[in-house]
Amino acid sequence: MVSARIVGLPPLTTPSAFRPLFRMNLPVRPEFKVIDETPEWLVVDKPAPLIVHPANLQPEPTLLGGIEALLSFEMANGARPAIVTRLDRDTSGVVLVAKTTPAARELGMIMERREAEKEYLAVVHGHPADAAWESREPILRAAGTGPVDIWVRQMVHPGGRPCHTRFRVERRFARDGRDFALVRCFPTTGRMHQIRVHLAAAGHPIAGDKIYSGDGSEYLDWMKHGWSPDLRARLLLPRHALHATALTIPWLGDRVTWRSPLPEDLRRFIDGRPPAPADGVILWNRSGPADRE
């Protein structure tokens, strides 16, 4: 186990001929924490908001870009970093990165054989009736059923792919006149937005989820106008309250576990405290950093 260290993302330039898909300012936290490293893999604690891979060829700071800068010496000597466990832009927590092609192959097989154990924490709307439950609802991309406004949106559908998530309530609380619960989530499959979709289908969408808190209008408003007082009143949080808190894999005859504590923004929300200043978050407008929040 190595000593944890904070790594800042390198400066990013935008090609002069680039034309952005939209001109809103995206909040980005351009740093990550290394929590473990071996010659085969790197484990990082990803903050939110930070996208893992470039999206639609749109230039912005990414976790992969920061990892490639960090491992530039290793890459010059044959390393090929590959992100094994992906998280959404607004999901924080543990991310496993292979540093070599053989390691990527082996870690990928571990995931495919479902030998990894993943654990998330989510703050959800409402007080679930049961202390523990599971969902086996199949999930399908909503675009597979007809025209949609949000291409990435998923939905529970009988024609979808098999999915399985277990849930356990850790705490029930109230704030701002609304009921919430802290729920521990154990996905055994890894479909896109699986935890978010299963919780929304159970009647307990994740707090701050722009896509699944309702009909997706919050996400469309955010894409068009950015974060606003109206969205703050509707969502309470500028990002969905989902955190990848632990990952365990078999490795060399043993089992290795990495953990990430609940980040400060979610702790403050659970404790009923007001949001803290978004230290370290910049606003990125596709042509470079615009300002700091």
Candidates 62, 123, 61, 53; CA nearest to 288 is 61
Distance, in Å, from the CA atom of 109 to the CA atom of 114, rounded to the nearest integer, reads: 8
Told to judge if 176 belongs to the known catalytic residues of this protein, a careful annotator would answer no
Which of these is catalytic: 45, 88, 90, 265? 88
- C-beta separation of 125 from 275 below 8 A: no
**Residues recorded for the chain:** 293
Distance of CA 8 to the CA centre of its chain: 18
Question: Is residue 67 helix, strand or coil?
Answer: helix
Phi and psi for 288 in degrees, rounded to 5? Answer: 135, 170
Phi and psi for 274 in degrees, rounded to 5? Answer: -70, 160
Q: Which amino acids are annotated catalytic?
A: 88
